[in-house]
Chains A and B, each alone.
Chain A
Amino acid sequence: MIREITIGQYYDEESVIHRLDPRVKLVATLVYIISIFVVNNIIGYAFVALFLGICVALSRVPVKFIVKGLRPVMIILLITIAFNMLLTPGEILWQFAVFKISREGLKAGATMALRLTLLITGSSLMTLTTTPNNLTDGMERLLKPLTYIKVPVHEIAMMMSIALRFIPILLEETDIIMKAQMARGADFESGNIFKRAKALVPLLVPLFVSAFRRANDLAMAMEARCYRGGDGRTKMKPLKYAGRDYIAYAVIWLFLAGCIALRILL
Chain B
Amino acid sequence: MTLEHVNCIYSADTNHSVHALKDICLNIDDGEFIGLIGHTGCGKSTLVQHLNGLIRPTDGLITYDGQDIYGKGFNRKELRGKVGLVFQYPEHQLFENDVFADVCFGPTNLGLDRKEVELRAYEALHAVGFPDEDFYSSPFELSGGQKRRVAIAGVLAMKPRILILDEPTAGLDPKGREDILELISRLHSENNMTIILVSHSMDDVAGYAKRLIVMDHGSIAYDDVPQEVFRNVRELEAMGLALPEVTYIMRTLKRNGYDVDDTLTTIDEAVDAIVDLYKSRHS
Contact = CB atoms under 8 A, between A and B. Distances in A.
Chain A interface SS verdict (over half): helix
B87 A1 contact: no
B154 interface: yes
Measured as residues with beta carbon below 8 angstroms from the partner, the interface class of chain B is 20 to 34
A98 interface: no
B105 A177 contact: no
B270 to A, nearest CB: 38
A206 B93 contact: yes
A4 B54 contact: no
B85 interface: yes
Interface in B82-139: 84-87, 90, 92-95, 105-106, 108-110
Contacts of B81: 185
Contacts of B84: 183
A41 interface: no
B11 A205 contact: no
Contacts, number: 63
Residue among A4, A185, A201, A210 having the largest count of chain B Cβ atoms under 10 Å: A185
Contact of B54 (A173, A182, A202, A210): A182
Contacts of A74: none
Nearest to B90: A180
18 contacts: A1-B10, A179-B49, A179-B54, A180-B85, A180-B93, A182-B54, A183-B85, A183-B87, A184-B93, A184-B106, A185-B77, A185-B106, A185-B109, A186-B105, A202-B93, A202-B95, A206-B94, A209-B92
Which 5 pairs show the lowest CB-CB distances between chains A and B? A185-B109, A205-B95, A184-B106, A180-B93, A183-B85
Interface of A: 1, 4, 173, 176-177, 179-187, 201-202, 205-206, 209-210
